[in-house]
Amino acid sequence: MLLRLENIQKRFGGVVALKNGELAVRAGEVHLLLGENGAGKSTMMRIVAGMMAPDGGRILWRGEPVRFRRPADAARQGIAMVHQESLLAPHLSVAENIFLGREDTGPLGWVKRRRMQERAERVIAEHRFPLHAEWRVERLSPAGKQLVEICRAVESGSSLLIFDEPTSSLSAAESEEVFRIVRTLRDRGMAVIYITHRLEELRAIGDRVTVLRDGETVYTGLLAETTTDGIIRHMVGREVSSIYQRHTLAPGEVRLEVRKLSRPPLFEGVSLSIRAGEIVGLAGLVGAGRTELCRAIFGVDPPASGEVFVNGRRVIIRSPREAVAAGLALIPEDRQRAGLATGLPVAHNITMANLDAISRWGFLNAAAEREITYAFIEKLRIRAESPKQIAGRLSGGTQQKVAIAKWIARGARIFLFDEPARGIDVGAKVEVFQMMDDLARSGAAILMVSSELPELLQVADRILVMRQGRITGELPGRTTQEEIMRLATLENASATGEHHA
Amino acid sequence: MIQRLLPFLTLVVLFVGLSLATPHFLTGTNLSSVVRQTAVINIMALGMTLIIVSGGIDLSVGAILAFGGLMGAMAMERGIAIPLAVLIGIVSGGFWGFTNGFLTTRLKINPFIVTLGTLGIVRGITLIVSNGLPVHQIPQNFSFLGEGSWFGVPFVLWVLVACALMVHCILEHTKLGRYAYAIGSNEVAAFYAGIPTAFYTTAVYAIGGMLTGLAGMIEASRLMTGQPTAGQGYELQAIAAVVIGGGSLRGGEGSVTGTLVGAFIMGLLSNGSDLLGISPYLQQAIIGAVIILAVAVDELRKRKMAS
């Protein structure tokens, strides 16, 4: 056994993050670590990687009890971690990041730049990564940054590599690439611990699985002997009853129409229309221009040319402010950065886009605000202790609900959801989709960008596919993943050209 | 909870401690002199609170204070009535605040840099306009603003209370205040929510400038001169007051009560050291240490809450 955790405990103030963390990882296996948000997966892995010390329990490394005081201690033993959010130095080069903290130095502490560069190039070439040693890390995509972290782990001769939700910000093709890398590393005898939220990718990669729930290890076993339903049951601790149900109805009139919208080189000649009561999916690889299209429609980066019609009337939207005034809402993919003021109370977040309605001459009506926030917390079942709770302390799913509540409170009728289920629990995901369904049923028009094809197939009434800044086709909601991927990737798929509903 | 109240408790302990340590502290004359001394910094710090809550900073307030005071004094020198002159001081402060906000939002330059620049510009212009000489021709009555009393309480205290109530109201009960918190907490999210962030950021700096202009008039009244070199280093004291009172330079945090407590802690420290005969050199070091201590304690509290 390479790594064994016995009865690991960790508490933060009054909150117990881990009360009985158990884990056993062998060399040459991919060990999946599953659990809902807050189950203690990341805490457990931070302990293994030496980023925090446990309050109790034992860590055995190659059978010997060890104690890591800092990440460098774990690194020296051969434990490396690829983080969910990159922990690289953005202004330094790829090579400098690969060797950060273990620079190759001469007798006077002089850094041997050339040699580090060469060694970095060697690792990159060996794995056929699309990187160059001298590139600055800030220019890299999230996928590129992960590759740098992987290089770092390989180059330092690690024998255990921890991936914390590596594919959460990657496209399907990029995820495939990560799987390929993980399998190669495993076949060379490395142990891999892999945290993920995407249940559909389990079988593509894992050998064994450990499930955490509320800080405790509740299941461990061979993946081949476990069903996905069984895993979900262990994660949630109950039968998942409320499977999402879409109530389709005959769509109403066109709420949002976009004609030949362009912002070269990001996207060009995009036309689409969404009717009241419709949820239209927008599929494509990362970099296909989907997020950019949403941002353009919403006025964050206004388009270079093209027309936008709201409820049949031509509108010119040059800022989010004008978009909001036209009844649009954008739920951005990056909640922490753009969707929510995480340092402010839930109440303030809910009313943020709607202060005009509860103020007169610039003065806020506290009673009206209280009423609105309580109403939404109840109606949308937002699990907050009180309206005063700081939004950043909520779980990812609850945060997303608050971000959506803001727009419902504002009375938006056209919703642009960019990756609405990213980084949230299985249970919360269903609730978010249900909210979208409710909105559609009440006559809202919804555009849903998602890289998770099963999600799109489950939620969307029809699916538009984008490739390299153009819409390459439209598919009915009951299509297949293969069909979407074909349009998203293939050169000759653009036969259908632009689409109108 | 106790930690949140720590600045306030510190103030109380300081007050009680000084009352016991020296008989000269708890006297009407001394207390009103503390109020008069801290009023200027206090009023500037109120404006700074708004700015820091919105995620900004203003290093030019010391220079703006001198500019506002000089403009008001020059107006009075030319025979303009005192209330109107005070208004001129306020407006000229507001003008520079507006300029700071405008440059920060239009040129999208970090406010630290913008106000570092305007600090030099405003001070330079003040010196040019005045030829480097103080303005003395000021009507006697003007001293009432900084040195007079009303209902047995220093007049500046009334002014301070009025300003504090106003800024508190802005922060807690107006759209402007709410947006200041939102922009300071997450400017991108605020922008995405359709908030005209540039307008509100500029408004915040303009209000900060107006309060500084008023502080400039009070300073001028206390010195009975329009002093072009007034207010040097005041910006740091104002920032310190906000920070001791729980404001965060990362934005989104800060309160009027906190800032008042912060300013009075510094005021009492310096008054107390004077009364106890502690050298002014050491005073500076003590105040510096208190700033670091206050912020360290506050960070500790936040980290505890976060985990």
Q: How far apart are CA B200 and CA B55, in angstroms?
A: 12
Burial A350-362, CB ≥16 within 10 A → b, else e:
bbbbbbeebbeee
Residue among A338, A343, A356 minimizing CB distance to B192: A338
Rounded to a whole number of angstroms, the distance from the CA of A368 to the nearest CA of chain B is 12
Indicate whether B77 belongs to any domain: yes
CB B227 within 8 A of CB B134: yes
- Write the CATH number for B192: 1.10.3470.10
Q: Where are the alpha helices (DSSP H) in B174-279?
A: 175-185, 187-192, 197-223, 234-244, 256-275
pTM of the model: 0.80
Contact yes or no for A344 and B191 at CB 8 A? no
For residue A83, what pLDDT is reported? 79
DSSP letters of B17-57? HHHHH-TTTSSHHHHHHHHHHHHHHHHHHHHHHHHHHTT--
Cα A470–A475–A477 angle (5° rounding)?
130
B144 SS3 class: helix
Q: How far apart are CA B166 and CA B164, in angstroms?
A: 5
Rounded to a whole number of angstroms, the distance from the CA of A401 to the nearest CA of chain B is 15
Tally of CB atoms within 10 A around B5: 11
Contact yes or no for A330 and B194 at CB 8 A? no
Count Cβ atoms within 10 A of the Cβ of residue A13 and give its class: 0-12 exposed, 13-18 middle, 19 or more buried. Answer: exposed
Residue among A298, A323, A362 minimizing CB distance to B176: A362
For residue B2, what pLDDT is reported? 57
B1 in reach of chain A (CB within 8 A): no
Give the chain B residue whose CA is nearest to the CA of A340: B189
Give the chain A residue whose CA is nearest to the CA of B248: A343
Residue among B185, B186, B196 minimizing CB distance to A321: B196
Residue among A300, A338, A348 minimizing CB distance to B181: A348
Give the chain A residue whose CA is nearest to the CA of B197: A321
**Residue A168 main-chain phi, psi, to 5 deg:** -65, -25
CB A120 within 8 A of CB A151: yes
Cα A19–A20–A21 angle (5° rounding)?
110
| Longest Cα separation, chain B | 62
Whether the pLDDT of residue B46 is over 90: the answer is yes
Q: How far apart are CA B211 and CA B159, in angstroms?
A: 11
Give the chain B residue whose CA is nearest to the CA of A352: B193
For residue A112, what pLDDT is reported? 80
Give the chain B residue whose CA is nearest to the CA of A367: B173
Rounded to a whole number of angstroms, the distance from the CA of B113 to the nearest CA of chain A is 21
- The structure tokens listed for A32 are 């999946």
Residues 6 or more apart in contact with residue B23 via CB below 8 angstroms:
none
Q: How far apart are CA A26 and CA A336, in angstroms?
A: 36
**Cα B131 off chain centre by:** 27
For residue A327, the chain B residues in CB contact (below 8 A) are none
Interface subset of B 242-271, CB within 8 angstroms of A: 252-253
Whether the pLDDT of residue B49 is over 50: the answer is yes
Indicate whether B145 belongs to any domain: yes
Contact yes or no for A324 and B178 at CB 8 A? no
List, run by run, the mean pLDDT of 10-residue segments along chain A (501 residues): 92 80 93 84 90 92 91 89 80 89 78 86 87 88 84 88 80 80 89 84 85 90 85 73 70 93 92 95 87 95 94 94 95 88 93 91 91 91 87 86 94 94 80 92 94 86 92 88 80 43 36
Give the chain A residue whose CA is nearest to the CA of B181: A344
For residue B179, the chain A residues in CB contact (below 8 A) are 355
- The structure tokens listed for A152 are 């770092």
Indicate whether B261 belongs to any domain: no
B307 in reach of chain A (CB within 8 A): yes
Tell how strand A313-315 and strand A305-310 pair up. Answer: antiparallel
Domain that holds residue B198: 27-232
Contact yes or no for B193 and A406 at CB 8 A? yes
Give the chain B residue whose CA is nearest to the CA of A406: B193
Position with higher pLDDT, A495 vs B269:
B269
Please compute the mean of the pLDDT values over residues B149-176 and round it to a whole number.
94
For residue A320, the chain B residues in CB contact (below 8 A) are 191-194
For residue A15, the chain B residues in CB contact (below 8 A) are 307
For residue A362, the chain B residues in CB contact (below 8 A) are 174-176
Residue among B174, B189, B307 minimizing CB distance to A341: B189
B185 in reach of chain A (CB within 8 A): yes
Residues in A whose CB is inside 8 Å of some CB of B read 12-13, 15, 298, 300, 320-321, 323-325, 330, 332, 337-344, 348, 351-353, 355-356, 359, 362-364, 366, 393, 406
Q: How far apart are CA B48 and CA B64, in angstroms?
A: 13
B281 in reach of chain A (CB within 8 A): no
Q: Confidence band (pLDDT; 50, 70, 90) for B4?
A: low
- Among residues A445, A447, A441, A440, the alpha carbon closest in space to that of A464 is found at A447
Please compute the mean of the pLDDT values over residues B29-44 and round it to a whole number.
93
Indicate whether B247 belongs to any domain: no
Indicate whether B206 belongs to any domain: yes
Contact yes or no for B196 and A15 at CB 8 A? no
- Among residues B220, B210, B233, B235, the alpha carbon closest in space to that of B134 is found at B220
Contact yes or no for B185 and A355 at CB 8 A? no
Residue A477 bridge partners (DSSP): none
For residue B304, the chain A residues in CB contact (below 8 A) are 13
Rounded to a whole number of angstroms, the distance from the CA of B218 to the nearest CA of chain A is 29
Contact yes or no for A339 and B192 at CB 8 A? yes
- Among residues B269, B213, B219, the alpha carbon closest in space to that of B241 is found at B269
For residue A30, what pLDDT is reported? 94
Indicate whether B61 belongs to any domain: yes
Q: Tokens 């494509």 sit at which residue?
A: A284
Contact yes or no for B195 and A353 at CB 8 A? yes
Residue of A11, A328, A355 to mutate when probing chain B, most B C-beta within 10 A: A355
The CA R_g of chain A, rounded to the nearest whole Å, is: 24
Q: How far apart are CA A75 and CA A156, in angstroms?
A: 8
- Among residues A82, A104, A194, the alpha carbon closest in space to that of A148 is found at A82
Residues 6 or more apart in contact with residue A144 via CB below 8 angstroms:
A130, A131
Rounded to a whole number of angstroms, the distance from the CA of A341 to the nearest CA of chain B is 5
Residue A447 bridge partners (DSSP): A280, A416
B301 in reach of chain A (CB within 8 A): no
Count Cβ atoms within 10 A of the Cβ of residue B147 and give its class: 0-12 exposed, 13-18 middle, 19 or more buried. Answer: middle
- Among residues A217, A267, A308, the alpha carbon closest in space to that of A449 is found at A267
DSSP letters of A249-286? ----SEEEEEEEEEETTTEEEEEEEEETT-EEEEEE-T
Whether the pLDDT of residue B84 is over 50: the answer is yes
For residue A321, the chain B residues in CB contact (below 8 A) are 194-196
Contact yes or no for A320 and B176 at CB 8 A? no
Q: How far apart are CA A43 and CA A21, in angstroms?
A: 10
- Tell me the CA distances in angstroms from A137 to A94, A99, A134, A146, A228, one per residue in order: 6, 13, 9, 10, 37
Contact yes or no for A353 and B182 at CB 8 A? no
- Tell me the CA distances in angstroms from B103 to A269, B114, B126, B200, one per residue in order: 37, 7, 20, 13
Q: How far apart are CA A79 and CA B70, in angstroms?
A: 65
For residue A439, what pLDDT is reported? 94
Structural domain count, chain B? 1
Indicate whether B219 belongs to any domain: yes
A96 SS3 class: helix
- Tell me the CA distances in angstroms from A107 to A97, A115, A415, one per residue in order: 22, 15, 61
Rounded to a whole number of angstroms, the distance from the CA of B242 to the nearest CA of chain A is 18
Contact yes or no for A352 and B195 at CB 8 A? yes
Size of interface A-B (CB pairs under 8 A): 81
B300 in reach of chain A (CB within 8 A): no
Q: Tokens 């204070």 sit at which residue?
A: B65
Indicate whether B273 belongs to any domain: no
Region of B194 (left: φ > 0; alpha: ψ -120 to 50; beta: rest) is: left
What is the number of helices (H) and of strands (E) in chain B?
Answer: 13, 2
Tell me the percentage of chain B whose pLDDT exceeds 90. 80
Contact yes or no for A320 and B179 at CB 8 A? no
Contact yes or no for A342 and B185 at CB 8 A? yes
For residue A395, what pLDDT is reported? 81
